């Protein structure tokens, strides 16, 4: 304990320590500022100027597309810009019993169409979909067991004639 008190008492006598702390703090603040994402993104450039769209507008559009998809519940978006390209991460709750590939590819296609073709965003990057949870009752939407469906499909094979 005595050693710690001596070290703390001698800190004001070391001028380079305070300069180092100040420079480190300044570099940390600059690093945070460079990582900050802009509030709006350039969708495209026209002859009259830039056409901008805000992050909140993109998030709202993604939410509306998710709301229109029956197999998707709640969704949230993360929007990043890197090198002038827009990258979107959509986190969704999916209805239990839905096919993962069908739901996510449909959602990606609809978002790509809305952002790229309708809004005209030129530098559209990846649209990643992350399923965070499943909602609903899986039992109510489950197909009949495989053996029953095979029996029903082929039950009349013996009655058909091969003319």
Would you state the pLDDT for residue 88?
A: 92
Q: What are 106's two structure tokens?
A: 């449909």
Would you state the pLDDT for residue 77?
A: 92
Would you state the pLDDT for residue 109?
A: 93
Q: What is the pLDDT of residues 20-39, one digit of tens each?
A: 888 899 998 888 877 777 78
Task: Say what the pTM is.
Answer: 0.61
Using CA atoms, how far residue 36 sits from 29, 57, 113, 162, in Å, is 11, 18, 28, 72
Topology, domain 40-137: Alpha-Beta Plaits (3.30.70)
The sign of the torsion formed by the CA atoms of 107, 109, 115, 118 equals negative
Return mean pLDDT, the chain.
79
């Amino acid at each position: 304990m005595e050693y710690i008190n001596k070290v703390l008492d001698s800190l004001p006598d070391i001028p380079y320590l305070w300069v180092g702390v100040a420079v480190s703090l300044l570099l940390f603040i600059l690093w945070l500022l460079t990582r900050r994402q802009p509030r709006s993104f350039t969708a495209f450039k026209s002859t009259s100027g830039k056409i901008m769209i805000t992050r909140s507008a993109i998030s709202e559009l993604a939410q509306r597309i998710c709301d229109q998809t029956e197999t998707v519940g709640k969704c949230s978006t993360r929007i990043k810009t890197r090198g002038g390209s827009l990258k979107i991460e959509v986190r969704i709750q999916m209805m239990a019993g839905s096919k993962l590939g069908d739901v996510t590819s449909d959602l990606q296609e609809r978002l790509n169409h809305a952002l790229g073709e309708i809004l005209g965003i030129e530098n559209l990057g990846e649209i990643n979909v992350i399923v965070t949870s499943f909602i609903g009752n899986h039992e109510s939407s489950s197909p009949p067991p495989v053996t029953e469906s095979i029996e029903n499909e082929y039950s009349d094979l013996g009655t058909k004639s091969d003319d």
